[in-house]
Structure 1
Amino acid sequence: MSETIQLTAPDGTAFDVYVARPDGETEVVGGLVLIHEIWGLVDHIRDVADRYAEEGWLVAAPDILSKAGVGPHLGAELFALMNDPDESVRTAAQPRMRDAMSEMRAPGYADWAIPALTAVVDWLEQQHDVHRRVAVTGFCFGGTYAFALAASDDRIRAAAPFYGTAPSPERIARIEAPVLALYGEKDPMLIDALPGVRQAMADAHVDFEAIVYPGAEHAFFNDTGRRYSPEHAMEAWARVLEFFDEKVVGD
């Protein structure tokens, strides 16, 4: 069962949240904040939310990119261009892509986005069947914000960022939740940074595990994109469910 609701960020801005609920015969195991890629709240993310709901999670997938001018329709259009099999089409779309994403990369955007995500946690905690069992996951842009939310809100019980950029060591030191981070081996920027992330997590005594899938690329989980890797996506899905079950449901 799914619906779209509106929540309000602390600055008064309303934003949409796709909510996927388990069916009436499935017990709610916890609440999950699901943060989209740089394409926004597109159909793929709604599908992932529905899949988690089938596993018993009450899922809240917020649209935090419409605030930056990238609504789901534009995000889907940009995704199609950047995943076109013709390299010349992808190259020609790069200037439009950079322009569309400029506001999201502005320094003040995170100052809006993280409090907005905190409002999503507020909403999940108000649902009577969640019982303070709240986790977060996200992909790419959403993986970065999954890290950031874990560093900003101590109500997060577990975080599973997919190919996201970890915060600074100072912010990593604020993470109290266990973190399972998933990467593709062929994602050089993130893989090159991973030793430093591991060290910062160890220095901060964060329960941190990083999984690197051999041969997988960035966005290997997205089954609508050209980098999708079914084998790695299936393994990652099972691993994240097990991680959440251990750290959130069974804790």
Structure 2
Amino acid sequence: MNKPKTSHIPQEAFDWYDEYAHGMMDRRTFMKKLGGLAALGYSMAMLTSALLPNYALAEQVSFNDDDIKATYQTFDSPKGHSKGQGYLVVPTNQSSELPVVLVIHENRGLNPYVKDVARRLAKAGFIAFAPDALHPLGGYPGNDDEGRAMQRTMDREKIQNDFVAAAQFLKSHPRSNGKLGAVGFCFGGYIVNYLAAVDSTLLSAGVPFYGTPASKELRKNIKAPLMIQLGQLDERVNATWPEYETDLKANNVPYQMHMYPGAHHGFHNDSTGRYDEKNAELAWQRTLTFFTQKLV
């Protein structure tokens, strides 16, 4: 299937979607604003197909791929919601110990795009684990709107503790080489930054895609090298970067930041029109190289 072309869609439509997706605008207001563009010749079908996810577009590695094996695994989370669950993907063509990577979803639960990212990592030779923050409520509901609404009802501190528990679970996997990486998107990018800050011994490398930093008082704990991935048009997240960079420098944290020209928030997500194939591929290759350098 072809991804919708978005070059002709006004920037404000993407800004409205970002506000809607992050709880700063309700769906009724969002749809009303999109409807206002009809006078300029944009159909609702065109706009919604470009902005809302179509997960039929997001599969790059099939769960039937012979090189990987995917299962669901539960883990204990005594400081979180007691029990957690995630999507574990293991390479089948290697028998040695391997580096492990936690894959952290956006603010809507473990959707098909994030599961595919876990499969891509396993295909590249990493053991990947993608927890679902919504597991205590029955798991990702199959719909992003419902998933966002569900996640907003949950205790944020407990969710964060669930991801800490998931990281510990993955790091202790029988085939783990003891080096843990984490990659996350949007809310997941924040969680990567949080995991690096809440326990300086937990991560060996982190790649937050367009994620906000952990609270200022925690940042002094960061030791793991970070690769920060940002989209040029993502004003909301980019506004947090200068102060975060100042703190990383002050604490001698090894980091690199890549700013992708013309890219929106969510540019790596290939299920929506915000997807930027050229920048997403470059960012992903940089991510794999970084993990290989820091974890193998």
1:145 lines up with 2:195 in the alignment:
no
CA deviation after TM superposition for structure 1 residue 178, in Å = 0.5
Q: Give the fraction of aligned pairs with identical amino acids, expressed as a percent.
A: 30
- Find the partner of 1:53 among 96, 114, 122: 122
Shift of 1:168: 2.6
Corresponding position of 1:102: 152
Q: Which residue identity does 2:291 align to in structure 1? A: F
Distance (Å, rounded) in 1 between the aligned partners of 2:168 and 2:214: 22
Asked if 1:127 corresponds to 2:195, the answer is no
Residues 1:40 and 2:40 are matched in the alignment: no
Question: Does the residue aligned with 2:214 lie in a helix, a strand or coil?
Answer: coil
Query: In the aligned structure 1, how far is the partner of 2:240 from the partner of 2:161?
Result: 27
State which of 124, 148, 155 in structure 1 corresponds to 2:202. Answer: 155
TM-score normalised per structure 1: 0.83
What residue is the counterpart of 1:181 in the other structure?
Answer: 228
- Tell me the distance in 2 between the aligned counterparts of 1:26 and 1:198: 39
State the Cα distance separating 1:98 from its structure 2 match.
7.4
Stretches of structure 2 lacking an aligned partner (at least 5 in a row): 1-68
Secondary structure at the aligned position of 1:61 is classed as: strand
Deviations 1:19-48 (A, max 9, x none): 000123475530111101112101111111
Q: Distance between the aligned counterparts of 2:262 and 2:95, measured in 1?
A: 36
Call closer, same or farther: CA 1:102–1:115 in 2, change over 3 Å: closer
Match for residue 231 of structure 1? 278
Q: Residue 150 of structure 1: CA displacement?
A: 1.1
In 1, the alpha carbon distance for the partners of 2:151 and 2:91 equals 34
TM-score, scaled relative to structure 2: 0.71
Asked whether the equivalents of residues 136 and 158 of structure 1 are also in contact (C-alpha less than 8 Å), the reply is: yes
Q: CA deviation at 1:131?
A: 2.0
Does the alignment pair 1:118 with 2:154? no
The 2-side partners of 1:193 and 1:128 are apart by 38
Taking structure 1 as reference, are residues 212 and 26 closer, same or farther at Cα in structure 2, changes over 3 Å only? farther
Q: Is the 8 A contact 1:134 1:155 kept in 2?
A: yes
Supply the distance in 2 between the matched residues of 1:197 and 1:139 (Cα, whole angstroms): 17
Cα distance, 1:151–1:43 mapped onto 2, change above 3 Å: same
Question: In the alignment, which residue of structure 2 is the partner of 1:29?
Answer: 98
Of the candidates 140, 147, 164, which is equivalent to residue 72 of structure 1?
140
Partner secondary structure for residue 174 of structure 2 = coil
The letter for the 2-side match of 1:161 is P
Query: Cα distance, 1:117 vs. partner?
Result: 1.7
Q: Would the alpha carbon gap of residues 45 and 97 (structure 1) be closer, same or farther in structure 2, given more than 3 Å must change?
A: closer
The answer to whether the aligner puts 1:2 opposite 2:48 as a matched pair is: no
Q: Tell me how large the CA RMSD over aligned residues is.
A: 2.0
TM-superposed deviation, 1:167: 1.4
Hey, what's the Cα distance between the residues in 2 that align with 1:148 and 1:159?
10
CA spacing shift, 1:185–1:7, aligned 2, 3 Å: same
- The 3-state SS of whatever aligns with 2:204 is strand
1:190 correspondence with 2:237: yes
CA drift at 1:210? 1.3
Write out aligned runs for 1:163-178 (5 A).
163-178=210-225
How much has 1:100 moved relative to structure 2? Answer: 4.3
Aligned length: 226
The verdict on how the C-alpha distance between 1:130 and 1:205 changes in structure 2, with shifts beyond 3 A counting, is same
In structure 2, the CA distance between the partners of 1:187 and 1:222, relative to structure 1 (3 Å rule), is same
Give the aligned residue type for 1:127. H
- 3-state DSSP of counterpart to 1:72: coil
